Amino acid sequence: CRQLFRSPSVPGSGPGHVPKRGRPSYRDSRAEAKRQRTVTGSLEQEASLEPVGDGEAWLEPCRSARLEEIEDLLARDDQELVGDFSKPHLLPTVEGKEPGLKYISPGTLAAVLTGHFSGSIASGVVVDCRYPYEYEGGHVKGAVNLPLERDVEEFLLERPVAAQEAGKRVIVIFHCEFSVERGPKMCKFLRERDRSCHEYPQLRYPELYVLKGGYREFFLHFPSHCEPRGYRPMEHPAFKEELRKFRGQSR
């Protein structure tokens, strides 16, 4: 899953990383090509073509420029860039269970809800991945209940949320009861589907977060931001049949 959120060229990005010693990087190939052009004096070639790794292919200038820009960003050793590498993450992150995902604290979510980041955020979507009976027992104000993958596809991909103001961001924050399983899983699902719909590295939603501790932790600290002001656990004894039904649908 880490490759969904970080470029394969980032050092330490996963077991599939190819060491630089064994395979020339895009940047090394560019430097070598420039030396060759200096010797040959072929200005026409320099203006029209750019080499990409091992001389296997040639890219059009505009696309090559975009890849060069991405490589420059990654070369800064900044691993906090959003999914399309266009800018750093806006929200402060904390360490979470899944190293490939970005987690925020309950306090950061409360700051988003109270408009602390309104100058930079056009739309902040809080996705509650819990089952409907949990959501009805208490949820973050303004959160949308999307417990199934098809719900996420319909709400976020078939009718995508767009930034109404130029230069502002659309962020999506996922959570479930504890943000251990359902929330992170749905966050990875959206990124995977988003990747498949666009040419790499473009994304509809480049900035995704997971609420650390889930709804339970958020409710303990900020009950005033919940409606109704309550917390219904997934394994509530009065909802055993609903739990069985939705678990079956999730599979």
Catalytic machinery residues: 176
Whether the CA torsion 128, 132, 135, 141 is positive or negative: it is positive
Q: Which residues pair with 174 in a beta bridge?
A: 127, 210
**Which pairing describes strands 226-227 and 139-140: parallel, antiparallel, or unpaired?**
antiparallel
d(CA 85, CA 40): 35
**Which pairing describes strands 57-59 and 144-145: parallel, antiparallel, or unpaired?**
unpaired
User: Residues 6 or more apart from 56 whose CB is under 8 A from it?
Assistant: none
Secondary structure class of 209 (helix, strand, coil): strand
Plot region of 142 (φ>0 → left; ψ -120 to 50 → alpha; else → beta): left
